[in-house]
Every structure is written in C-alpha cells, then in structure tokens.
A and B are shown apart, each in its own frame.
Chain A
C-alpha cells in the first residue's frame, strides 16, 4: 500500500498529464498532421495523446531531434 504523500503526488502528475494532453490537442495543426504519411501521422497522434517523444519518434522512424522539429511544424507544444 502506498502512502498518502505518494498518492497525492501521483494525483498531481496525472492532473498535469491531462492538462498537457488537452493543450496538445487544441494547439496541434490537425490539417498538417492529416497530410503526413501514415506512419508519421500515427506517431504525431500518439504524441498528442501521450507526450512520449521517444516511442513516437521510433514509430515515425526518426531520431528524437528530427521528430522534435516535426512537432514544431505540426504546432504540437512540448509541455513539461
């Protein structure tokens, strides 16, 4: 069983994750995303939902820094 402090911290992280997801969804250039090849499109959508850049970049078969540039093009903010 986890302590109250742990649960409080975890709840805060989950709230921050949800806030970040909402911002990514609303800020993203969905037209740009939909125009991308299937693998890249899927990776961008995965990033919008999770914020997990490493898995997303692997999905897109790109290095992390190239995928980061793609996020800028797609107007998907990195929120940390």
Chain B
C-alpha cells in the first residue's frame, strides 16, 4: 500500500498527459487536499479529478486544524529565508501531510522542492515530480518497452512542461 498527496500544479500538468491514469498503478490512493481542489476550474482538469475521485483512485484530503496550523507556519518560514522560493498553503499542506503521514508528495512547485531539500524537518519527505513518477513507471516496466527518452519527450510535448536538462539526462542514464 502506498499513498501520495498531490498539489495543484502537479495535477494540472499531469492530467494533460495521455498516460495520466498510470499514476494509479504506483499509488493505492492519491489524496487531493480541499485547498488544492478549490484552485482547479478548467473543465478537462476537473473532469479527470472528478472521474478519479468517483473511481476511488483519488481521495479528498480534508485538512485538520493542526495540519493547517503547521502549514501556515511552514509558509511563513519559507518566506523568511532569503533566496528561497516561498510555498503557499496548498503545497504546505501536502508537505505537512507527507511529513506526518508518510505520503509521497507529488508537486511541480519549485518552492515545495526547495523546502523539502533545505528545511531539516521536511528532508525526510519523499517529494516526486512528474520526472520521478515517469522514471518509476519506466523502471517497473509499467510503460511498454520504448525508448525512455521518447516517453519523457512525449510528456514534455503534451503538457508543455520541461524537465531540467541535467535531471532528465540523469534519469534516462539510470534506466
């Protein structure tokens, strides 16, 4: 059983990819915080989220007061550190849930990645971008044997999301 929690930016880009439902081969349930759900408006994104909630692959995550309290504290902390990209409440909720419940955090938010990399109490949180998810899908052969580079390229083309060159080369090399 493995669980994840997704933020807005991740869901928006991921939902544009033709293989988006493969996410549910990696995770038993992907939680969507209410604060994240409120940020989504486009018909296609909402439709995918609604369908996945209905099938039980996504599940609504209702923030408790203590999670929101820690998330607010995290937002403030990231904004006080010079040169660090701040996080907002939706990403902060994901990081707090990741820390407290052991969920993998799915995000495309640079601030969330920086916080998990730089703040000591969040360093143990597993934070994945689409890059790590696609890597894992390829590693487990959940995507038919194709050129790994072509699969990453397909994602970039369909979503308009670009992976950092060094990270992409490293992922392809490891496959």
Do B160 and A13 touch across chains, with their CB atoms under 8 A apart?
no
Do B45 and A17 touch across chains, with their CB atoms under 8 A apart?
no
From A17, A64, A68, A77, give the contact of B110 (CB < 8 A).
A17
B contact residues around A51 at 8 Å (CB): 85, 110
B contact residues around A17 at 8 Å (CB): 85, 110
A43 within 8 A of B: no
Binary interface encoding of chain A residues 1-35 relative to chain B, with 1 for a CB under 8 A from any of its CBs, else 0 = 00000100110011011011001000000000000
B104 within 8 A of A: no
B contact residues around A6 at 8 Å (CB): 118
CB distance from A65 to the nearest CB of B (A): 4
A79 within 8 A of B: yes
User: How many residues of A are in contact with the other chain, CB < 8 A?
Assistant: 26
A contacts with B: majority SS? helix
Do A65 and B42 touch across chains, with their CB atoms under 8 A apart?
yes
A contact residues around B41 at 8 Å (CB): 63, 65-66
Report the Cα distance A16→B117, complex, angstroms: 14
Do B162 and A78 touch across chains, with their CB atoms under 8 A apart?
yes
Q: In the complex, how many residue pairs between chain A and chain B have their CB atoms under 8 Å apart?
A: 75
A39 within 8 A of B: no
Whether A65 contacts B12 in the complex (CB less than 8 A), given A6-B118, A13-B114, A80-B113, comes out as: yes
A contact residues around B165 at 8 Å (CB): 19
From A16, A63, A69, give the contact of B164 (CB < 8 A).
A16
Report the Cα distance A52→B108, complex, angstroms: 11
A contact residues around B139 at 8 Å (CB): none
Closest to A2 in B: B118
B39 within 8 A of A: yes
Whether A63 contacts B42 in the complex (CB less than 8 A), given A14-B83, A77-B162, A80-B129, comes out as: yes
Closest to B165 in A: A19
From A20, A52, A64, A80, give the contact of B12 (CB < 8 A).
A64
Whether A80 contacts B39 in the complex (CB less than 8 A), given A13-B114, A54-B88, comes out as: no
Q: Which residues of B approach A to under 8 Å, CB–CB?
A: 8-9, 12-13, 39-42, 45, 83-85, 88, 108-111, 113-114, 117-118, 129, 159-165
Give 16 CB contacts A-B under 8 Å.
A6-B118, A9-B118, A13-B110, A13-B117, A16-B110, A19-B164, A53-B9, A54-B88, A64-B12, A65-B39, A65-B41, A66-B41, A69-B42, A79-B161, A79-B163, A80-B110
